[in-house]
Amino acid sequence: MKVIAESAFNHNGSLDYLKQLALEAKNNGTDFFTVQVMDVSAFCVKEYSKYDIYKENTLSFNEWKEFFVFAKQIELDVIPCILDIPSLDLCLDHDFNLLKIHATDITNISLLERLVALNNVDLILETQCATNLEINFAINKLGDRVKCLIHGFSNYPTEIEDLNLNTLDYFKEYFPQYKIGLADHSLDTEKIPLMALAKGCSFLEKHITLTRNNRNFDYQVSLYPNEFGAMISNIKHYEKALGIKMKHPMESELKYRDVMYKKVLESGNYMRADKGMDFMTHRLDSLDSQKVGVALIARLKSKRLPLKVLKPFHDTFVIDFLYKRLKMSKKLTSVFLATSPLNEDQELVKFAQEHDHCVFLGHPVSVIDRMLSLALEEELGAIFRVTGDNPFTDIDFIDEMIQLMWDNNLDYVRVNNVPFGVSAELFSTKYLWKLYLGMENPMMSEYLTQFVLEDETARKGCLDIESEVENLKYINLSIDYPADLDRAYTLIEELNSDNLYHISFSDIIKRIDKLEREDENKMIKLAGGEEIKFSDFLSKLANQEYIIRKKIKF
């Protein structure tokens, strides 16, 4: 949970005060500092009862410009709360890409229409005093510009019975696409912030001041810098208790698991023992390695190319083409479309069933859970991960990989130096289980390859492809963007085959040299938000300690 220090009008119109307040917020650990930027003449009419107060206590635009420079100098992330269109223009001139919309502007149609027309600007939407109807109105106008909904109560200080923290649960249920936050105007600096943390807030906003003695504006709910720092320290401490959003043993639990879980005895009984395997380890370890299946991983969640696996391809559609190709393998036992039971994937499930695909519904996020569940149900001793956006996955390679695993008792097999989207990954089920237990967070198992790369104990094997095509490994035949689909269509035209299902890699490699290469210096994502240069990632794949490397020349 990120903490936002709210300055509001605690600066009383003094730039020096605001600078000092920002510096204190920075030094006491705040993640963001929010300011209310106002052009009084655009904000309210002169006859408004508080016009003179605002006029006397508002910074000029030149002062705001100086403050923005100061904030950059002290490396403080500022979130301007823009209160009118001239203030919006000022902040856009200073390249802010995250802005806050005050709750009282939630139906300010002129401002909303101006905001929705902007590029590369994200919005935090406050909702104090707003009705559900008005929140929906703003969201329908702003669309995906909104990244977070902030709940709060406008009475200062907010009484405990008025906080209504269950609104946060309501937001999560009815607006699941947005992060949630709390603008906390209570006097509590310990329990309410921790309740917001437990409710899953991404942001907590609290007022900060240098002194409450001036009794100006929001002094009742404003914290001294040391109080603010103590609150942040308390949040950071208890944040550790949240862990990951999944049931999975912590690393420190594994030793207890080994001692406490009952073992499978030779008699067939289950009792605590120092030797032997727990039931699940024993079950997965005993599966027949000759039974090898494919988990064809696909869902319909892609935003870069919506419904990409259902796009037309050859004489059918991407996912059906790939499924039929995989079924041509001589050594595979079974092929399953492995997707989720969520409503958003029901169109894919219906399509697969209509095309006679075997379908398995598993965990929507944890890919390794989905694969292990499939292996357990179908009693597969080894399982491929093939992603549904890779229609050119090579069947001959798949059969070679299976034989390599059988001949060398391998945990993991892959193909190196081929275009992205041609190779699959083969795991022994018992190794996949070991990998799973050792993961800190299986919800990150979309990046399954990374976990294998970091495991120096696995028995790995590979097919090393040799060809005269320059930079073959930098060609992308996977489909993730519209340009990727166009590239695949171009290759289909080049292949010029009535029966593309039987096309071999030898056929592809003769016609692939014309395709553009990916930038070897581009950054690709890893688990935990880390990134690695594409060329460095491919180098890591090629330079693993493989037990066996089989070279194949084309």
Count CA within 13 A, CB hemisphere, residue 312.
4
Instruction: List Cβ neighbours of 496 (8 Å cut-off, separation of 6 or more).
Output: none
Residues 134, 139, 142, 147, CA torsion sign: positive
In one-letter notation, the amino acid at residue 330 is K
* Residue 215 pLDDT: 64
Cα separation, 32 vs 77, whole angstroms: 5
Q: What percent of the chain has pLDDT over 90?
A: 86
* Residue 499 pLDDT: 86
Pairing type for strands 334-339 and 78-82 reads unpaired
Q: What percent of the chain has pLDDT over 70?
A: 99
Eight-state DSSP code of residue 102: -
Q: What is the mean pLDDT of residues 80-103?
A: 95
13 CA to centre of own chain: 41
Cα separation, 135 vs 111, whole angstroms: 15
User: Taking 80 as the threshold, does the pLDDT of residue 176 lie above it?
Assistant: yes
* Third-level CATH fold of 288-553: Spore Coat Polysaccharide Biosynthesis Protein SpsA; Chain A (3.90.550)
**Can you give the three-state secondary structure of 511-539, one letter per residue?**
CCCCCCCCCCCCEEECHHHCEEEHHHHHH
In one-letter notation, the amino acid at residue 11 is H
Q: What is the mean pLDDT of residues 284-308?
A: 96
Buried b (16+ CB within 10 A) or exposed e, 163-192: beeebbeebbeebeebbbbbbbbbebbeeb
Tokens of 232: 């942040």
Q: What is the average pLDDT value for the chain, to the nearest integer?
A: 94
Whole-model pTM over 0.85: no
Q: How far apart are the first and last CA of the chain?
A: 53
8 A C-beta contact, residue 464 and residue 416 = yes
Q: What is the mean pLDDT of residues 318-325?
A: 97
* Residue 517 pLDDT: 93
Concatenated DSSP letters of 263-309: EEPTTS-EE--SSS-BHHHHHHHTS-TT-EEEEEE--S--SSSTTGG
User: How many Cβ atoms sit within 10 Å of the Cβ of residue 362?
Assistant: 21
């490994």: which residue's tokens?
A: 473
User: Taking 80 as the threshold, does the pLDDT of residue 438 lie above it?
Assistant: yes
Q: What is the mean pLDDT of residues 162-173?
A: 94
* Residue 527 pLDDT: 86
| Distances 258 to 246, 382, 516 between C-alpha atoms, Å | 21, 24, 51
Q: What are the extents of the domains in the chain?
A: 2-239, 288-553
250-275 confidence digits (pLDDT tens)? 888 888 998 999 999 988 899 999 99
8 A C-beta contact, residue 362 and residue 370 = yes
H-helix or E-strand containing 16? helix 15-27
Cα separation, 78 vs 31, whole angstroms: 9
Q: What is the mean pLDDT of residues 34-56?
A: 92
Q: What is the mean pLDDT of residues 358-378?
A: 97
Collapsing DSSP to helix, strand or coil, 70 comes out as: helix
H-helix or E-strand containing 205? strand 203-208
Cα separation, 200 vs 303, whole angstroms: 24
Angle at 495 between CA 491 and CA 499, to 5 degrees: 115
């060329």: which residue's tokens?
A: 535
Cα separation, 381 vs 290, whole angstroms: 7
pLDDT confidence of 244, banded at 50, 70, 90?
confident
* Residue 10 pLDDT: 85
Collapsing DSSP to helix, strand or coil, 77 comes out as: coil
* Residue 216 pLDDT: 65
């006491």: which residue's tokens?
A: 28
In this chain, the answer to whether the domains covering 2-239 and 288-553 adopt an identical fold is: no
User: Taking 80 as the threshold, does the pLDDT of residue 213 lie above it?
Assistant: no
Cα separation, 151 vs 163, whole angstroms: 9
pLDDT confidence of 219, banded at 50, 70, 90?
low
8 A C-beta contact, residue 363 and residue 417 = no
Instruction: List Cβ neighbours of 83 (8 Å cut-off, separation of 6 or more).
Output: 36, 37, 38, 39, 43, 102, 105
Cα separation, 350 vs 300, whole angstroms: 12
450-501 confidence digits (pLDDT tens)? 999 999 999 999 999 999 999 999 999 999 999 999 999 999 999 988 889 9
* Third-level CATH fold of 2-239: TIM Barrel (3.20.20)
* Residue 136 pLDDT: 94
Tokens of 329: 């393998």
* Residue 445 pLDDT: 87
pLDDT confidence of 279, banded at 50, 70, 90?
very high
User: How many Cβ atoms sit within 10 Å of the Cβ of residue 363?
Assistant: 19
pLDDT confidence of 135, banded at 50, 70, 90?
very high
* Residue 217 pLDDT: 67
Collapsing DSSP to helix, strand or coil, 352 comes out as: helix
Concatenated DSSP letters of 450-516: HHHHT-SSS-EEEEEEE-SSTTGGG-B-S-SSHHHHHHHHHHHHHH--S-GGG--HHHHHTT-TTSP
